[in-house]
Amino acid sequence: MIVESQLAPENAIVRDTVDAGDYYLKTIKKGQTVRILDLEGNQAADTLFYNANDASERYSAIDTVREQGNVYLTAGTVLMTNDCNPMLTIVADTCGRHDTLGGACATESNTVRYALEKKCMHACRDSWLLAVAENEQLGLSKADITHNINFFMNVPITADGKLSFADGISGAGKYVELTALMDTIILISNCPQLNNPCNAYNPTPIEVLIWN
């Protein structure tokens, strides 16, 4: 569902650019709104969320899909935690659909999906592991890297229930915007993946904006 934002970029309190292959870590206070902006189009922003006051509570794809009765995420979706608490709500979306089933790229899955020699290529899971290692104060370990959302990624379900990785439906300047319903840690891996048709084999930067 396409819903445009009423928020003006010049009023944002945070405005950061994240290059492809980098991670982005930030705490969003309850009531604040975060926008993830696809600057050049068809980029995949692989994102994890944690309760900032108790990181053992985290985003749950299963609870979110079950509670809304739909596998696609868009405006109106309430992101649920593994304790079935509402965590964030998608308040604006100019892309129209985001994936939470396909999972993130990892060096191991890249060898299966593409070719054995892709093992050495940087992957989203590496970026998250680096974030966990560089931010010990969060108390996270690799066991906490679980369900994620692939913002801007197109993973349509076929009529017989199969997952298909398709060309992206996002474009330059499209965005998704979420309002936090609890203090939330956002951990984005801006996907470095050079083999993924979803970003047209060309990983590009994203922008993150936050409003009070």
CB closer to Zn ion, 47 vs 64: 47
Task: Name, in order, each residue with C-beta under 8 angstroms of 182's C-beta and a sequence gap of 6 or more.
Answer: 30, 51, 52, 53, 85, 86, 87
Q: What is the longest distance spanned by two Cα atoms in the chain?
A: 47
CB closer to Zn ion, 90 vs 198: 198
x/- map, 81-110, Zn ion, by CB under 5 A: ------------------------x-----
Which residue's structure tokens are 């680096």?
130
Kindly state whether residue 42 participates in binding Zn ion, applying the rule CB under 5 A.
no
**Residue 108: in which H helix or E strand, if any?**
helix 107-113
Nearest to 64 by CA among 93, 95, 35, 85: 85
Tell me the closest approach of the beta carbon of residue 44 to Zn ion, in angstroms. 6
Tell me the closest approach of the beta carbon of residue 74 to Zn ion, in angstroms. 21
Site for Zn ion in 122-141 (CB under 5 A): 124
Count of residues of this chain found to bind Zn ion when the rule CB under 5 A is applied: 4
Site for Zn ion in 166-205 (CB under 5 A): 191, 193
How far is the C-alpha of 1 from the C-alpha of 174, rounded, in Å? 13
The contact set with Zn ion (CB under 5 A) reads 105, 124, 191, 193
